[in-house]
Structure 1
Amino acid sequence: MYTIDLAAVLQMVKIKPHEELLADGALTLFDENTGRAAFVSHQWVAKHHPDPDHRQFRVLQDALRNILSGVTQISVDVITELIIGKSPKMTHSLHPADLYIWYDYFSCPQKENGRDASKRYDSDLAKAISSIPAYIAKCQLMFVLCPVIESREGRTVLGPSSWANRGWCRLERLAKECSGDGSFFMVKSARHVELVVTSFASSCESSPGEGCFTVEEDRSNIAPVVKQVLKQKVSQCLQNGDLPSYRVVLNAQAILCRGLPMETIADVVPGFDSSQHESDDAGSLLVAKFLFQNGFSQVCEYDAMGWSPICYAALNGHAALVKALLERRANPNDETKKGQPLLALQKMVPVLGISAFFKKNNAMTVLLEARADVSPRGSRPPPLCLASFGNNATGIQLLCQARANPNRKNLLGMSALQHACATGACDAIDMLLNIGEGNLDLSGSLHAAALLHGGSHTTISRLLEARADVDEQFRPRPWGTLQLFFTMKGLEFRLKRPTRLRTLGYHHRGATPLMVALLVGHFEAAATLVACGARAHVENSRKITAADLISEVSTPEFLKDASAGDLEDTVSVLSQLRLRRERSSFNRRVSSLLLNGTRRRGRN
């Protein structure tokens, strides 16, 4: 594994390809006995060079300098703090003397001789690609480099959401999650670096095969790499005796392999004798094999994590299997007894909600036919909220046809639309808006998009087209669960070390979506809101404005310039965002006109 030591990386003024650096003797074969390696995941700014103008890489260099000098303190991202419930301790420290950087352009071969050399599986580049999981496993640290910048061609704005949509970046994240330590550092600006503790759920929501690829053939090329990663994870779980994690990975395979030309791993545990079930019907054989492979002996039992066979079958999504389990007295309203960190799911999640979240719509249909409850009571999360969170438009339609209320909220007071906005689930947003027919409650939707990672230009533009208020002030219901949660976080802000979530808790009342985006460090959402006309001088209950927050040292320079009225360096990014919104709005209006015209012709 070729790397470059940190001192040399910080001195770079231009990123040279692997072959040139190798000839210059600048590359080092990494040795775990001499130091630690850091893997850099990033999106290429141009087609033939990752960063021809050195804008993206310079952010990484400045961020590393600021961390080493103490100017920048690494914060914990909001999702990590929400899921874990506290601020996790830093398990890795940066020391310049023993740190080596892995970066694809200078660590992997780039130039191949011959027109079709890059397509050969025996080429050095192909070998390097297949070795990405091994490289990530060797690296103790991972940096996700995703500052908000304009692409070289000026056609798109790059940032956290575009990074999360890239197929290669999704593969790298999956490999990191399967390596045993899913944490990484997200570099959003030279002075804003976040610790993200990710889980298997991230890749389940965004599988590598459903990501974007510049070269379409790469989609099929990564299939064996994904299969290799999953095989290693399954084997690791079995070797460690971690059966609940093994069951999660085994049954989530189909989700992680979406969009890829590959078969899932079958018959992981040898020894199932189908001859003993020759007299059984197809359903009995299916259940017997499923129980054997998952290490269960009965249909109605729970493992150490409080999951029953039908919970895993709902994750698996095999409709015939779910039906066969129900015929053998499995409960269609069964629920998880404990939370599952690998999937970021809480306890008391109904099996219908599991299928809805992971887009297992055939299994949903079977459960609905068995009269699974679409509106569970108490602290159980509504399946409609889970379907929205998982961007399952078809699942939303199925649930609403079964009389689920699209405006119903969960225990925190969050609606299905807010769940969809939080993850940027555009298909779910469109479905909910269509079902709502103008009666859907839009309040808090932009705040939800700005709070988590859903605040892309597409999400925000669609909400504004639906007449969401770009300057809406956040005012949760007095004494409601959400109000109590933020009040508690505000108290922690005063008594403990400030975090992003605690700072938001202190400033939440009266905050606009722009203020929320700035408080939690989602600069892509902030840039989009500014481009869409959000006002920077609206005060919250503490008399603080977005303009005050933009002056914070961790805010990117282009947002500071926009606040100060100097748009010379900012206009390209903001104008690109405005242009994309105008194009999106125009295309949606044309589609609506065509659809209405078709309906009128159908009636005539």
Structure 2
Amino acid sequence: MGSSQGSAQSSGTSQGADDGMTSCNTGVHHCSFPMYVVKVSDFLEMEGVPEPHQVLRRKGLLHEWNPQMFVIFVSHQWLGAGSPDPSGQQMTVLRHALQSWIDGSMKVDIDLMRTFGDQSYSTTSYERVATGYLFLDWFAIPQLTERADGVNDDATVSDTARAVQSIPAYVESCDMFVALVPDLVHSDTGLQCNYSTWLSRGWCRAELWCRLLSNRADTRVVLIFSDREALYIMPMDWQRSLISDGLFTVESDRTVVMKLGDRALRSKIEHLDRWGPLTDYRFHLAQEPRLLGQQQGGFSLQGFLRHFNFPSLHDAVKHESGMTGLLCAIVAGDGDIVETLVKNGADVNARVSGLGHLGYSDSLTLLMVAAYNAQDSKMLSTLILSQADPNIACVSESGSLVTASWLASHPGHVQVLLEKKADFSASPPLTGAVGVSTASTVKAFLQARCDPGTVSPTGFGPMYSVSFFGRGNPDAPAIL
């Protein structure tokens, strides 16, 4: 919801949203205003600029959510200050995409690069789209810019605030989550709006977190880039998009929305602690401090074992599929525990497995994970001083040789790898860095005399990488 309307902290008194009307209270987040949706079939008949909540309500096109409905939540960035889609272009893309799913002419692509080798993705329920419903903020939420005759201002403000505050609950109630991110121009600023800018918005990040951290069986996110292209989101895109760093039109929303993310993550961890799988529980638990902006590390050995549910030190140091002790320590940012585990026999050059659905493909080394997970430079130094080999390679799904240098997340990584004699010629690191890292990191590689014209034997080079992976990277234009 990249909107300038309806702060989460608006106040007022409304007679329209009592407990009897808020049937979407079925999950972690509180729902304080009814969830209104539009039939997909009705939406496909619409044309031009989307009409707001009050107009659709007068026309009888809004329906209150019930659990029997198949609902698609549409997250999008607004393209105007007073209207989400002043030219109607965004909605046209959505209509064409929905119609293409219904008639079978388009499917959500599941390619190896985008799913990082995870083959657990099942088919999207295209057959349910035709009879389904849409949640779109402009349709569902009473807007301050559109008033019906006789509507009390205070009631309108309150209903808007209640609905905005209920968005996380709406996300939880939906069966499918779509991010509508075509490459279009903002009508007021003239700036380009796309996947990268959508991903930069604080509210859009909150919606994304609430979907991916929900306790539903299917938490996939579909990205609609155009009426002909839709892909599943890459796991690292959300893990690097902290709510605390997001852009907010109403700055006072930041603290409120951060609390929503906190609640979603803690609920996910509690659910995984109770129901498993253990690998996912440990992963989210280790990620928690970084995702919530808290201090990392500082465990005693016994505290670490208890925190991550390792019965003994032996269990923490042995190599197995999933989140091993070393992986937990690395992702949690605790270098002291890394050193302790290595001294007690943990294999610092072990390759990971069983983490594809979390964004880490099989055969990555622990050093690669530390770099890709954006750990600080000290963690990379700790691993290399513990005999992690920076030149061990794995083969990516594209057939390219990948080393830790490929996955460097910031300039400090480049400096450490240079100091520790990483071989940048064995596998040209710019091919990886331009797609997943910052402009300053790419600059550091260039200063280290890495050649941007070098390509792999498969023909996969930096220019291809930045165009493929860089869609969610705000630094992509600067890198190019």
TM range (shorter): 0.7 to 0.9
Decide which of 191, 198, 203 is 1:168's aligned counterpart: 203
Whether 2:94 is the aligned partner of 1:60: answer: yes
Matched with 2:224 is 187
The 3 A distance-change label for structure 1 pair 59 and 31 is same
Whether 2:469 is the aligned partner of 1:452: answer: yes
The 3 A distance-change label for structure 1 pair 337 and 197 is same
Unaligned runs of at least 5 residues, structure 2: 1-34, 146-151, 396-400, 456-460
Q: Deviations for 1:198-223, whole angstroms, at most 9, x for unmatched residues?
A: 54x33223333333333333332211
Counterpart of 1:383 in structure 2: which amino acid? A
The 3 A distance-change label for structure 1 pair 340 and 97 is closer
Decide which of 74, 89, 93 is 2:107's aligned counterpart: 74
Decide which of 186, 205, 213 is 1:178's aligned counterpart: 213
Decide which of 287, 291, 295 is 2:301's aligned counterpart: 287
Counterpart of 2:371 in structure 1: which amino acid? A
Deviation, 1:231, is: 1.5
SS at the partner of 1:59? Answer: helix
**1:499-510 alignment, distance < 5 Å:** none
TM-score of the aligned structures, taking structure 2 as reference length:
0.77
Matched with 2:416 is 398
Mean Cα deviation higher: 156-165 or 77-86: 77-86
Higher helix share: 1
Deviation, 1:377, is: 5.6
Decide which of 183, 203, 211 is 2:246's aligned counterpart: 211
Whether 2:263 is the aligned partner of 1:224: answer: no
Q: Deviations for 1:126-174, whole angstroms, at most 9, x for unmatched residues?
A: 5434433322222112222111111102521122222233232222222
TM-score of the aligned structures, taking structure 1 as reference length:
0.63
Matched with 2:375 is 360
Whether 2:73 is the aligned partner of 1:39: answer: yes
Counterpart of 2:305 in structure 1: which amino acid? L
Matched with 1:335 is 350
**1:131-280 alignment, distance < 5 Å:** 131-179=166-214, 180-190=217-227, 192-196=228-232, 198-199=234-235, 201-258=236-293, 263=294
CA contact (8 A) 1:287 1:321 kept: yes
Deviation, 1:332, is: 6.7
The 3 A distance-change label for structure 1 pair 83 and 456 is closer
Deviation, 1:313, is: 0.6
The 3 A distance-change label for structure 1 pair 321 and 108 is farther
Q: Deviations for 1:524-572, whole angstroms, at most 9, x for unmatched residues?
A: xxxxxxxxxxxxxxxxxxxxxxxxxxxxxxxxxxxxxxxxxxxxxxxxx
Structure 2 CA distance, aligned partners of 1:430 and 1:218? 35
CA contact (8 A) 1:244 1:303 kept: no
Deviation, 1:26, is: 3.2
The 3 A distance-change label for structure 1 pair 210 and 445 is same
Decide which of 388, 394, 417 is 1:372's aligned counterpart: 388
Matched with 2:404 is 383
Structure 2 CA distance, aligned partners of 1:321 and 1:286? 8
Mean Cα deviation higher: 300-309 or 355-364: 300-309
CA contact (8 A) 1:308 1:336 kept: no
Counterpart of 2:222 in structure 1: which amino acid? F
Structure 2 CA distance, aligned partners of 1:80 and 1:177? 19
Whether 2:104 is the aligned partner of 1:83: answer: no
Counterpart of 2:440 in structure 1: which amino acid? D
SS at the partner of 1:152? Answer: coil
Structure 1 CA distance, aligned partners of 2:448 and 2:94? 44
CA contact (8 A) 1:109 1:124 kept: yes
SS at the partner of 2:300? Answer: helix
Matched with 1:567 is none
SS at the partner of 1:307? Answer: coil
Q: Deviations for 1:3-51, whole angstroms, at most 9, x for unmatched residues?
A: 1112222233432333444455432111122x21010011110123211
Structure 1 CA distance, aligned partners of 2:474 and 2:382? 37
**1:291-310 alignment, distance < 5 Å:** 291-301=305-315, 302=318, 305-310=321-326
CA contact (8 A) 1:187 1:193 kept: yes
The 3 A distance-change label for structure 1 pair 46 and 364 is same
Q: Which has the larger radius of gyration?
A: 1
SS at the partner of 1:76? Answer: coil
Matched with 2:364 is 349
Counterpart of 1:256 in structure 2: which amino acid? L
Structure 2 CA distance, aligned partners of 1:236 and 1:456? 31
| Amino-acid identity (%) | 24
How many residue pairs are counted as aligned between the two chains?
Answer: 423
Deviation, 1:304, is: 6.0
SS at the partner of 1:3? Answer: strand
CA contact (8 A) 2:436 2:469 kept: yes
CA contact (8 A) 1:204 1:255 kept: no
Counterpart of 2:307 in structure 1: which amino acid? Q
The 3 A distance-change label for structure 1 pair 87 and 371 is closer
Matched with 2:139 is 106
Q: Deviations for 1:457-482, whole angstroms, at most 9, x for unmatched residues?
A: 9536644xxxxxxxxxxxxxxxxxxx
Matched with 1:9 is 43
Matched with 2:126 is 93
Q: Deviations for 1:310-348, whole angstroms, at most 9, x for unmatched residues?
A: 21110111334434445x525472424423124221334
CA contact (8 A) 1:307 1:336 kept: no
Matched with 2:10 is none
SS at the partner of 1:98? Answer: coil
Structure 1 CA distance, aligned partners of 2:474 and 2:279? 38
The 3 A distance-change label for structure 1 pair 184 and 311 is closer
SS at the partner of 1:452? Answer: helix
The 3 A distance-change label for structure 1 pair 448 and 74 is same
CA contact (8 A) 2:70 2:129 kept: no
Structure 1 CA distance, aligned partners of 2:335 and 2:320? 25
Counterpart of 1:406 in structure 2: which amino acid? F
CA contact (8 A) 1:44 1:50 kept: yes
Structure 1 CA distance, aligned partners of 2:441 and 2:103? 44
The 3 A distance-change label for structure 1 pair 430 and 237 is same
- Structure number with higher relative contact order (C-alpha < 8 Å, ≥ 6 residues apart): 2
Counterpart of 2:448 in structure 1: which amino acid? I
Structure 2 CA distance, aligned partners of 1:76 and 1:97? 19
Matched with 2:28 is none
Counterpart of 1:107 in structure 2: which amino acid? A
